[in-house]
Amino acid sequence: MKVEKNKVVSMHYTLRDKGGKVVDQSESDGPLSFIQGIGNIIPGLERALEGKSIGDKFKITINPEDGYGDLNLELIGKVPRSNFDASEELELGLVFEVTNDQGTYLARVVELDDTHVVLDANHPMAGQILYFEIEVVAIRDASLTELSHGHIHPNGESC
């Protein structure tokens, strides 16, 4: 069986930045599973995985347009520190949910001084080249329920 649209693929992955630092990886106790071809994962990885077989290992470099997109400056904003609760412990890298008329998203504190806080709601890897190492460990057909839900049901559990 090969990786193609509507197959459930399980893979181990390691993601490094351009400096070689590991920024994300599959859990040591199990691979990441997803449905191929429907946008569960970034486009560059879907394309690289297409046609691969169980046991295949490869490295792939993915540009921002096939990864987490370019940095969107509109998602970076400076707000007065007085907008925050005085009791709130603000620090660089802190992530919290922000809700506005566009919806709810995650924002990180990227700059901080006595009067202002700069928040960034881009994906942490937006605008960056991604260096992946991939190992395909399993491939199976997705169930009809999984396909209609657009996500996998581990161990046959529904949700």
Phi, psi at residue 147, to the nearest 5°? -65, -40
Q: Which residue has the tokens 């046991």?
A: 55
86 counts as binding Zn ion under rule CB under 5 A: no
Instruction: Please give the Cα distance from 42 to 34 (Å, whole number).
Output: 11
Q: Tell me the residue type at 151.
A: H
CA atoms within 13 A of residue 108's CA, in its CB half-sphere: 9
2 counts as binding Zn ion under rule CB under 5 A: no
Report in angstroms how near the CB of residue 136 gets to Zn ion at its nearest: 23
Report in angstroms how near the CB of residue 38 gets to Zn ion at its nearest: 13
11 neighbors 134 (Cβ within 8 angstroms): yes
Instruction: Provide the mask over 94-133, with x wherever binding to Zn ion is found by CB under 5 A and - wherever it is not.
Output: ----------------------------------------
CA distance to 60, 67, 112, per residue, from 48 (Å):
7, 12, 39
List the one residue from 29, 53, 149, 154 that touches Zn ion (CB under 5 A).
149
159 counts as binding Zn ion under rule CB under 5 A: yes
Report in angstroms how near the CB of residue 123 gets to Zn ion at its nearest: 24
Report in angstroms how near the CB of residue 158 gets to Zn ion at its nearest: 6
Site residues (vs Zn ion, CB under 5 A):
149, 159
